Structure 1
């Protein structure tokens, strides 16, 4: 089995496994025995997509993502925060706790190069500064001062977990809230939501990147999510992965475009 990916979410997952000495975490794979999964892409070996991983090189001035993850979220095979860290190498990830705050997270929020935004629906952010676009934080022309880089704080968990993180994290209370106004409905199919306006974490990250002007990264993450979803569901249905479907073709085309730019 391939080794685990070396990025923030995989390291958080490893730490969670080490800390859970009493084996109190929930069973995240149904059935007996536990399903064998690739340590890099979390899919079963027959549907492994490691050869399709599109790692984007860090770019000066690029917006970044920080995941604040609910307990056990990093362990879920269907978690899409992992996909963000796969694609964007400077993604940060921290586990959320009501009683303690990771020092690394506080240091990140205090770093003057970043302008943090808590990404959360504005209708649930009463009393907070809510913004819907980033024009004031992005350069208008070449002579404008270099602005702070957008840092998108994504609350990664179920809707109820995300609301708890939003309400019970004092260190987030004075940060602006970025409320997305997407025109399309969520296409994520691996977990059900009673609200069709809810988006999975990877979709939210892609929308944020597009808002920050990084269209290539946004499109790459969207295509990568589509490929992951298709292969995950194909594996559950015992159907071979279709490497020629639209998502795979889009991902390869974007990878080729990145190579031409390099």
Structure 2
């Protein structure tokens, strides 16, 4: 099981970035690749082309996939607006199998504005992915850290 956070460069400096929390709490299960429009990460493209990876993205025109069928999961780590830009400007992502994560509970993330209904932040998505792959210890550790992080004072981004 491997989760790749395809991170917009602006996220690297945001205090409200929950992707950094997932990286810190989940050891070797989560890795970060900084998105580069003109130079996509070769290993990421190869994994997609080989059918090994699934993208977590709620694209309406994508063929649905089952998250549990893939050991490599790609998650765009950015604001919702930046995530759309990354997806729209990355043809290799558009051709990948895709899955939307639906949760019974609403997002508890309150540190950013303009969150769409039903949308989860990066840490919440990682927790859900870990649970669906039987990585409950890592999911519990990240969930506890996220709860504490979400209650701490941060400036909104």
1:74 aligns with 2:9: no
* CA distance 1:191–1:211, shift in 2 (3 Å): same
Q: 1:90-118 deviations in whole A, cap 9, x for unaligned? A: 222112122221334335x2697x83110
Q: 1:131-167 deviations in whole A, cap 9, x for unaligned? A: 2452xx3xxxxxxxxxxx6111110111111112122
Secondary structure in 1 matching 2:73 = strand
Bigger relative contact order, structure 1 or 2, given CA contacts below 8 A and separation 6+? Answer: 2
Q: 1:29-88 deviations in whole A, cap 9, x for unaligned? A: xxxxxxxxxxxxxxxxxxxxxxxxxxxxxxxxxx22101111211111111101111112
1:103 alignment counterpart: 42
Q: Tell which structure's C-alpha radius of gyration is larger.
A: 1
Q: Please tell me the root mean square deviation across aligned C-alpha atoms, in Å.
A: 2.3
Kindly indicate whether the alpha-carbon contact (under 8 Å) linking 2:9 and 2:34 is maintained by their aligned counterparts in 1: yes
1:125 aligns with 2:86: no
Q: Which consecutive residues of structure 2, in runs of 5 or more, have no partner in the other structure?
A: none
Kindly indicate whether the alpha-carbon contact (under 8 Å) linking 2:48 and 2:54 is maintained by their aligned counterparts in 1: no
2:88 alignment counterpart: 167
Q: Which consecutive residues of structure 1, in runs of 5 or more, have no partner in the other structure?
A: 1-62, 138-148, 237-262
Q: 1:187-217 deviations in whole A, cap 9, x for unaligned? A: 0111122423111100011111111222222
Secondary structure in 2 matching 1:171 = helix
Kindly indicate whether the alpha-carbon contact (under 8 Å) linking 2:56 and 2:75 is maintained by their aligned counterparts in 1: yes
Secondary structure in 1 matching 2:148 = helix
Give the whole-Å Cα distance in 1 for the aligned partners of 2:39 and 2:49: 20
Kindly indicate whether the alpha-carbon contact (under 8 Å) linking 1:132 and 1:180 is maintained by their aligned counterparts in 2: no
Q: How many residues align?
A: 154
When normalised by structure 1's length, the TM-score is 0.53
